[in-house]
Amino acid sequence: MRGKPLLLTLIALLVLSAVPAVKASRVVFTIAPLNNNFSGVPGDTIIIPFQLRNLGNTTLENVTVYMTGPVNGFLYQSKAIREPIAPNGTYRDTLSVKILNVAPGDYNLTLVARAGQVFSQAPVKIHVGTFVEYNLGISVGSAYPYGHNVSVVMRVTSAANGVIIGRVGYTITRDGKQVKEFATTIYLNPGESWVKNVTLVKPPVGNYRVRLWGYFGGKSKAVTASFRVFQRHLGYRAYFQNGAIHVFVYDENGGGVPGISVRINGISFKTDDDGTVTYLVTKPGSYRVTLDLDGRIETTIVEVKRLFMSYEQMNDSLVVKVVDPTGNPVPNITVTALGPLGQDIETTNASGIAVVNLSTTGYGTILLKAESSRYIGTSTTARVRPPQTPTPTPSPTTTTGTNVTTTAPSSGGNGLTALLLILTAVIFGGTSYAAFFRPIVQEETIDRYYFVKVKAPRLKSLENFRFERQMSALEVRTTKGKAKIEDGVVTWEIETLEPGEEAYLQVLLG
């Protein structure tokens, strides 16, 4: 029985010796660069030749070849090899690596070949050198009016991948003649800028040229820019009208010039798009206007004058005289008289005289107002009495129906011999043009009369105006709207006042 196992073993060996031998299949390959060391600068593309050799006993197929290395700074290429490689066969090709904006230095990369789960790799070294690159720029306008400063901004910006050292400088010429020159040595880190701001203080009229240059690492560059300084033939007008000083600056063609510096009594302005400056005034006086007309300084004086009124009652007429501050009569002045019955509007003649019809206004307290676009207006009140009997022409020293004692300037040649008196009680004076954008409300009490004046803004209407005051009142009158007395309270309401329109309330106090 012991001999059976031995016999079976011998039979198995005889059977195996009769079967042909079979070799195991192997996938073995290597990859190697034909050169291990390369060099370049940012922007260069490095070509890496390689050789792939099949060391196995089967044909090599579907091999991928690629490069690996730093994530940033390089752009890598990969290839898929479709051509079969027989056992002991070789395959040669190239891969490319582009150097991006990476700092100078040595970088270790890896060449890799992969087929399924089998791969081979080899080291590759790339030396990145310093790449010298920079950009120049000049910032300046093309034209400047004479009398203004000119700012020139020059800039040198590094586009290198490392520190660069070199020279920069600039020259500025006017009509071919040099007016400024500068040069210096600087160093710049990657992306860093050198900036130079040069201010030319009110440069003369002429054609200017700016040249900026640089020299780094043997590379020179230069840029230029040009501008001109000119002087226009500008004119201007400065005058008072409608409660404001107006300044208009115009060019050779009569068009308005914006951006011109104007000073009125030390207050600075700039002309608007239409070439104008408007300055509201409420007080008379001499206003100094100074203009900078492209470097030409002009100064003028605008006189702002106030009107003055005097009056004298002659029977059923009120003779009003309007004069300027020197006592000279002023013609073409609108005189408005508002009384208990209504209003009368007259215009002064060449002697500055306007005659108010008292039968239109009524008698009692009359509100007088003188207005003109050329002057600051004025207003006052007059006390007039109904004529009892025909009244002779007042003598030069007699005043009827007034409470003033100051003699007005002479009318100057119109045959009127009566002296006109200046009223001492001035109501609402100097406010005719005080507000363009907001309403004006004024109140005044004279003896047993209480007056209220409201004026709408000059640039917009006044809507739903309401005045309310507690007082002992016997009677109310108004030129517009509705007024009433109720439980000791005076109420005045107006639906709408047009821009610049005025209305008055008169209250007889108890």
Q: Encode pLDDT of 471-496 as tens digits.
A: 888 888 888 899 999 888 999 999 99
DSSP per-residue letters across 312-365: EEETTEEEEEEE-TTS-B--S-EEEEE-SS-EEEEE--TTSEEEEEHHHH-SEE
- Name residue 33's beta-bridge partners: 50
What is the C-alpha to C-alpha distance for residues 197 and 22, in angstroms, rounded to an integer? 86
* Per-residue pLDDT at 322 exceeds 50: yes
User: In angstroms, what CA-CA distances link 36 with 52, 132, 218, 222?
Assistant: 15, 26, 30, 40
pLDDT (mean) for 6-22: 49
Query: Over 60: is that where the pLDDT of 454 sits?
Result: yes
Distances (CA, A) of 265 to 257, 287, 289: 21, 6, 7
pLDDT of residue 393: 46
How many H-runs (helices) and E-runs (strands) does the chain carry?
2, 40
Mean pLDDT within 324-338:
93
Q: What are phi and psi of 359, to 5 degrees?
A: -70, -20
Q: Are strands 308-314 and 276-280 parallel, antiparallel or unpaired?
A: unpaired
Residue 284: which of 324, 336, 253, 248 has the closest Cα? 324
Angstrom distance (rounded) from CA 338 to CA 361: 6
For residues 89 and 444, the model is more confident at 89
Q: Do the Cβ atoms of 262 and 284 come closer than 8 Å?
A: no
Q: What pLDDT is recorded for position 417? A: 34
pLDDT value at residue 4: 56
449 band by pLDDT with thresholds 50, 70 and 90: confident
Q: pLDDT tens across 140-162, in order?
A: 999 998 888 999 999 999 999 88
pLDDT at 415: 38
pLDDT for the residue 232: 87
Q: Is-contact 374 240, C-beta < 8 A? A: yes
Task: Flag the least confident range among 34-43, 297-306, 414-423, 466-475.
Answer: 414-423
Mean pLDDT of 445-456: 79
pLDDT digits (tens, 9 = 90+) for 52-64: 999 989 999 889 9
Separation CA 160–CA 183 (nearest Å): 21
Confidence grade of residue 331 (pLDDT, cut at 50, 70, 90): very high
Average pLDDT score, the chain: 84
| Average pLDDT over every residue of 436-443 | 75
Give residue-wise pLDDT tens across range 108-125.
999 999 998 898 999 999
> What is the layout of strands, in order, in the sheet containing 482-486?
462-470, 489-497, 482-486
Residue 189, judged by CB atoms within 10 A of its CB (0-12, 13-18, 19+), counts as: exposed
- Give the separation between CA 510 and CA 504, rounded to whole angstroms: 19
Element (H, E) at 193: strand 193-200
Q: How far apart are the first and last CA of the chain?
A: 160
What pLDDT sits at residue 7? 52
> Taking 80 as the threshold, does the pLDDT of residue 431 lie above it?
no
- Residue 492's nearest CA partner among 483, 480, 501 is 483
Could you give the CA distance from residue 101 to residue 115 in angstroms, rounded to a whole number? Answer: 33
Two tokens, residue 364: 């009692």
pLDDT value of residue 73? 84
**Position 178, amino acid:** Q
Residue given tokens 């002992």 in the structure block: 472
- Name beta bridge partners: 240: 245
Q: Which 3 state secondary structure label does DSSP give 295?
A: coil
Overall average pLDDT of the 219-237 stretch: 93
pLDDT of the residue at 423: 35
What pLDDT is attached to residue 65? 95
Residue 106: is its pLDDT beyond 80? yes
Is the confidence at residue 400, as pLDDT, over 90?
no
From residue 182, alpha-carbon distances to 1, 169, 179, 196, 482 in Å are: 116, 5, 11, 10, 80
pLDDT in tens, 159-217: 998 899 999 999 999 999 999 999 999 999 999 999 999 999 999 999 999 999 999 98
What is the token pair recorded at 453?
Answer: 């004046």
Q: By three-state DSSP, how is residue 14 classified?
A: helix
Residue 389: the pLDDT is 58
10-19, 72-81, 450-459: lowest mean pLDDT where?
10-19
Asked if 233 and 240 count as a contact pair (C-beta separation under 8 A), the reply is no
pLDDT at 167: 96
Neighbours of 98 (CB within 10 A): 15
Under the banding of pLDDT at 50, 70 and 90, the label for residue 437 is: low
Task: Supply the pLDDT for residue 411.
Answer: 37
Adjacent-strand bridge partners of 496: 463
Task: Using the predicted structure, report yes or no on whether residue 403 has a pLDDT greater than 80.
Answer: no
pLDDT of residue 25: 56
